[in-house]
């Protein structure tokens, strides 16, 4: 094999390896490259308690979306989430911030309602529950205010 042919084969092999590593990195980060079929809804919370952009949006333990952004509006936190297009959220859906384990990561749990009306793209989830503040609970227990 000539030196040029060997270098060409090695170059193609290295390029294929870089493409594969990039694909694996994107899949492990659960990112969408070409924008999957999702729509956005938002919810307003009095406190997000450590929820971050990119956190999971879950229904019945199954991930259905991601938190897209968190911003402050009128001294409350507006959480914008992208939800898979095949998931239809009812008007009386409840959004609650939960923790995986005692000190685990925060995620957004959606509990579907029973209404026949659906939330349109860009709509608001009106029922929200802020996260439980474990420090406050422990201090109330320690100082006998429970």
Task: With a cut of 60, say whether residue 35 has pLDDT above it.
Answer: no
Task: With a cut of 70, say whether residue 46 has pLDDT above it.
Answer: yes
Q: Where are the domains of the chain?
A: 1-31, 38-132
List of residues 6+ apart from 37 with CB closer than 8 A: 84, 85, 86
> Please, are residues 65 and 84 in contact by the beta-carbon 8 Å criterion?
yes
pTM of the entire structure? 0.69
3-state secondary structure of 112: coil
Of 4-8, 13-17, 38-42, 115-119, the one with minimum mean pLDDT is 4-8
Task: With a cut of 80, say whether residue 68 has pLDDT above it.
Answer: yes
Q: How confident is the prediction for the chain on average, in pLDDT?
A: 84
> Please, are residues 11 and 41 in contact by the beta-carbon 8 Å criterion?
no
Of 49-53, 119-123, 136-140, the one with minimum mean pLDDT is 136-140
The 8-class DSSP code of residue 130 comes to P
Phi, psi of 48 (to 5 degrees): -100, -15
């Amino acid at each position: 094999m000539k030196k040029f042919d060997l270098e060409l084969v090695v170059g193609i092999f290295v390029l294929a390896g870089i493409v594969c590593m990039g694909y694996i990195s994107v899949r492990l980060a659960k990112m969408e490259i070409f924008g999957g079929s999702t729509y956005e809804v938002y919810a307003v919370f009095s406190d997000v308690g450590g929820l971050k952009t990119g956190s999971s949006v879950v229904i019945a333990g199954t991930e259905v979306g991601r938190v897209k952004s968190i911003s402050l509006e009128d001294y409350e936190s507006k959480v914008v989430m992208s939800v898979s297009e095949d998931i239809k959220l009812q008007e009386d859906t409840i959004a609650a911030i939960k923790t995986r384990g005692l000190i685990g990561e925060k995620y957004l749990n959606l509990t579907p309602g029973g209404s026949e009306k659906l939330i349109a793209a860009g709509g608001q989830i009106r029922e929200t529950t802020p996260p439980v503040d474990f420090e406050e609970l422990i201090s109330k227990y320690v100082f006998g205010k429970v």
